[in-house]
């Protein structure tokens, strides 16, 4: 499972301390003894393989990073180079879709838990926190994560950053809102049904799922910054995924974009759907 017990132990200890957790707290969450956690950190033993997903979740890292110290979250962020710059690639103003969510909630955000998937540099995550949500910001890019934390400190609103790849990250919490804005094209097409089923399952009754996706159109050229691991959706995909929910808004339109400094257009589809009791 892990070639170097000592390195694995030091990694667990460092991540635990970074989270401000004691060995006792971690052991209680994993239903093991504090002595077991101590043995892991000293390199004298390894946790049961069945504990790895929960341990990784508690420490806000991927299983790969937990085992090897390396992660796709530090390697393949498509916007790493842009996020390393001082300016904010996507700006600091919230998206129109984020503002629509706050408008729909009508100020009733206290104690509501929101997941922002593919949070980028945090413009929507910080806005949601400012509006009173308890926010988890999931982001694969290391410099993106740093920008989210920087923006969070600058704005004075707390955001819980989850440094992980959405493809391999297993949701365990229940959310009032699961939100994404132009990030779900990185989900491989063959895995999408499973992911959307998970988003729906992890949403509380009465909660919202809100997504903006890129739709393929033959009359629109592929964007200059489109990556090889990005995959278009087809018109109607979102409505099909949420056919059994109350669809509050579902709209497709053509938008102008200037990412990469080159003017271009996208066809986008966004949905706001509410989970109702069966």
* Per-residue confidence band for 146, with pLDDT thresholds at 50, 70 and 90: very high
Please state, in angstroms and rounded to a whole number, the distance separating the CA atoms of residues 119 and 1.
31
pLDDT at 238 over 60: yes
What residue segments make up the domains of the chain, in order of their start?
A: 5-70, 80-274
Does the pLDDT of residue 77 top 50, yes or no?
A: yes
- How many residues can be counted in the chain? 278
* Among 271, 202, 273, CA closest to 237: 271
Query: What pLDDT, in 10s, does the model give residues 211-223?
Result: 999 999 999 999 8
**Percent residues over pLDDT 90 in the chain:** 62
The pLDDT confidence band at residue 261, using thresholds 50, 70 and 90, is: confident
The CATH number given to 80-274 is 3.40.50.150
* Superfamily of segment(s) 5-70: lambda repressor-like DNA-binding domains (1.10.260.40)
Q: What per-residue confidence (pLDDT) applies to 240?
A: 97
Q: What is the pTM of this model?
A: 0.74
């Amino acid at each position: 499972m892990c070639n170097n017990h000592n390195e694995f132990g030091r990694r667990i200890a460092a991540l635990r301390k970074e989270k401000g957790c004691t060995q006792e707290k971690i052991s209680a969450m994993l239903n093991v003894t504090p002595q077991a956690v101590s043995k892991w950190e000293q390199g004298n033993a390894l946790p049961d393989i069945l504990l790895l997903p929960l341990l990784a979740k508690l420490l806000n890292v991927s299983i790969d990073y937990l085992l090897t110290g390396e992660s796709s979250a530090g390697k393949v962020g498509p916007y790493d180079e842009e996020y390393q710059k001082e300016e904010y690639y996507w700006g600091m103003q919230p998206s129109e879709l984020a503002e629509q969510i706050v408008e729909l909630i009508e100020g009733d955000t206290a104690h509501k838990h929101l997941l922002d998937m593919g949070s980028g540099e945090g413009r929507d995550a910080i806005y949601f926190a400012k509006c009173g949500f308890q926010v988890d910001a999931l982001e694969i890019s290391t410099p993106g994560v740093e920008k989210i934390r920087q923006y969070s400190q600058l704005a004075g609103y707390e955001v819980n950053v989850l440094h992980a790849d959405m493809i391999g990250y297993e949701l365990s919490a229940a959310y009032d809102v699961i939100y994404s804005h132009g990030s779900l094209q990185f989900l491989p097409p063959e895995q999408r049904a499973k992911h959307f089923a998970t988003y729906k399952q992890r949403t509380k009754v009465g909660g919202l799922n809100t997504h903006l996706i890129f739709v393929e159109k033959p009359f629109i050229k592929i964007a200059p910054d489109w990556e090889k691991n990005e995959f278009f959706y087809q018109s109607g995909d979102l409505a099909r995924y949420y056919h059994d929910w109350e669809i509050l808004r579902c709209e497709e339109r053509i938008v102008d974009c200037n990412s990469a400094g080159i003017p271009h257009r996208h066809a986008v589809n966004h949905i706001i759907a509410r989970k109702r009791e069966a």
